[in-house]
Amino acid sequence: MTQTTPQPSSTGTIGLLSAVSIGVGGMVGGGIFAVLGLAAEVGGGGTYVAFLVAGLVALVTAYSYARLSVAIPSDGGTVSYLDEAFGEGTLTGSLNVLLWIAYVITTSLYAYAFGSYGATFASAGSQAAWSHVLITAAIVVFTALNVLSAKLIAAAEDYIVAAKIAILVAFVAYAMTRTDLSASTPSHWERPGSLVAGGMLVFVAYEGFELIANAAEDIRDPKRTIPRALYTSVLFTIVLYMLVAVVTVGLLSATEIVRAADFALAEAAQRVWGSVGFDLIVVAALLSTASAINATLYGTARLSVDIALDGELPSALEDQIAGKPLVGLFLTAGFALLVANLVPLEAISSMASAAFLIVFAAVNAANVRLADRTSSRRWLSVLGAVMCVGALVALLAHIAGNRPQDLVLMAVIAALTVVGERTYQLRRRRRPLSDRRSRRGAR
């Protein structure tokens, strides 16, 4: 029987520029401010190569998202694609729970960056304490904003994206004329394995391009606009990250990068613009991470409801208070608070990167399975899946060799996905699929 694929309307409200802004805003949403120092510590003069390697994995994966989002337009995005490809079962349930956990950890990453940059305004002796205060305040305040009005900051998102990109581009353009470019020559690179591991350690900095797929139903001329927006946003971000890496490594010594790992970009800006440059980058980081915390809390809370409706998370997450999924919001915020305050930055970044690599590998596999329906070149999605798996192996090998204790945290993530899937299996027996779908439609 031939299956008719619904197509998004060609009269949507989102054009190419706005779609690109969604992708770029999602990627440059705080990740680069948080993980640049980590990448430079591992990659040395080859840090820009590490960002390139990670970017290529994201770019190939963007092909699968482009084909899937046109053929299966849905605000459910990744969850919808996995459900369509693999149906309801152990694999899909575990991946959906893992996706939710990945976003929770990403919220922690943004909060950590907010605290680290904000604490630079305090005296040196009190920065550590102020960092934790600001981490906690950021999550609590933006949780409260989501309870009251999530649109309060969302309305200013376009301006925040434009401001942070303008600041980064201006910084790179100015700093390139004052940077020691020889610091990025091959003689200063770390070994190839470290470059790949460094790229995968900060792969979370490319998380966000998939948000374009979530808006597929509202994009004009989706067959042309969605692929162009995905590729343009990922390519632009790759180039931007590589240039930022070159100027940072050229401006700061290895010792300085390690000392200022949590706010390396601001330290580099100070070298070319003085204290004004330092403060400007700090303000850009605070605005960027603040908007990212708000948006991620908003989206993750709703994602938790969708997953609960599929029976893959506890049914309490479906409960709404005043028409809002507040149980999911509070649970997301609570976990994010614990991770951001108790887990080191490198572990947070590596956990988030590993989770997204697994999910993106599954999305590539989903497009392989649905290639006839999405009119795709299977070999490209097979390549994407292989690249994601290979990147994950490189990341785990790096963690095992440098921070083996972080593998315990990885095991905790795996255990949480198993618990979520066991909940799914139990509830599916107790609750008919038709009932769950009727409740989803009533939302």
In this predicted model, what pLDDT tens digit does every residue of 267-291 receive, in sequence order? 888 988 888 889 988 888 888 888 8
Residue at 359 is within a domain: yes
Of all residues in the chain, the percent with pLDDT exceeding 90 is 25
Between CA 78 and CA 74 the distance in angstroms is: 9
- Separation between Cα atoms, residue 328 and residue 322, nearest integer Å: 14
Residue 88 lies in a domain: yes
pLDDT band for position 59 (50/70/90)?
Answer: very high
Backbone phi and psi for residue 403, each to the nearest 5 degrees, phi listed first: -140, 65
Out of 26-40, 186-200, 257-271, 312-326, pick the least confident. Answer: 312-326
pTM, entire model: 0.86
Give residue 421's pLDDT.
67
Please report, for the chain, how many H helices and E strands are present, in that order.
19, 0
pLDDT at position 133: 94
> Residue 317: which pLDDT band, with cuts at 50, 70 and 90?
low
CATH assignment at residue 256:
1.20.1740.10
Residue 236 has pLDDT above 70, yes or no: yes
Residue 8: inside a domain: no
- CB-facing half-sphere around the CA of 344: CA atoms within 13 A: 9
- Give just the sign of the alpha carbon dihedral 153, 155, 158, 162: negative
Q: Which of 199, 287, 212, 227 is nearest to 18 (CA)?
A: 212
Percent with pLDDT over 70 in the chain: 84
In tens, the pLDDT along 85-94 reads 888 777 787 8
How far, in Å, CA of 57 to CA of 76, rounded? 22
Contact 99/78 with Cβ under 8 angstroms?
Answer: yes
Selection from 81, 114, 120, 79 nearest residue 100 by Cα: 79
In a domain, 207, yes or no: yes
- Separation of alpha carbons 436 and 441, rounded Å: 9
What integer is the mean pLDDT of 375-398?
A: 92
- How confident is residue 379, by pLDDT bands cut at 50, 70 and 90? very high
Q: Residue 262 above 80 pLDDT?
A: no
Q: What is the mean pLDDT of residues 375-388?
A: 94
> pLDDT value at position 11?
58
**Is 4 part of any domain?**
no
Q: Can you give the residue range of the structural domain that contains 327? A: 16-434
Mapped onto helix, strand or coil, the DSSP state of residue 266 is: helix
Alpha-carbon separation of residue 180 from 45, 51, 201 (angstroms): 11, 19, 25
The mean per-residue pLDDT over the stretch 228-235 comes to 94
Q: What is the rounded CA–CA span in Å between residue 97 and residue 300? A: 11
Q: Are 108 and 368 in contact (CB under 8 A)?
A: no
Instruction: Give, to the nearest 10 degrees, the angle between helix 433-442 and helix 264-309.
Output: 120
Q: Is the pLDDT of residue 232 over 90?
A: yes
Q: Is the pLDDT of residue 311 over 80?
A: no
Q: How many CA atoms lie within 13 A of 115 on its CB side?
A: 26
Please state the φ and ψ torsions of residue 179, each to the nearest 5 degrees: -100, 145
- Helix, strand and coil content of the chain, in percent to the nearest 5, comes to 85, 0, 15
The domain tally of the chain equals 1
User: Mean per-residue pLDDT for 6-14?
Assistant: 57
Phi/psi for 182 (5° steps) reads -65, -20
Higher pLDDT, 195 or 327: 195
User: What is the reported pLDDT for 58?
Assistant: 95
pLDDT computed for residue 8 by the predictor = 46
In a domain, 1, yes or no: no
8 A C-beta contact, residue 210 and residue 203 = no
Output the pLDDT for position 386.
96
> Within a domain: residue 2?
no
Q: At residue 77, what is the residue type?
A: G
- Say whether 210 sits in a helix, a strand or coil: coil
Range in 202-216, 297-311, 329-343, 427-441 with the lowest mean pLDDT: 427-441
User: Is 439 a member of any domain?
Assistant: no
- If you count them, how many residues does the chain have? 443
On the question of pLDDT at 5 being above 60, the answer is no
Q: Mean of the per-residue pLDDT values for the chain?
A: 82
Burial of 186 (0-12, 13-18, 19+ CB in 10 A): exposed
CA angle at 373 for the pair 368 and 378, rounded to the nearest 5°: 30
pLDDT on residue 368: 96
Give residue-wise pLDDT tens across range 99-132.
888 888 999 999 998 998 999 888 878 888 999 9
User: What is the pLDDT, as a whole number, of residue 149?
Assistant: 62
Strongest mean pLDDT among 16-25, 47-56, 175-184: 47-56
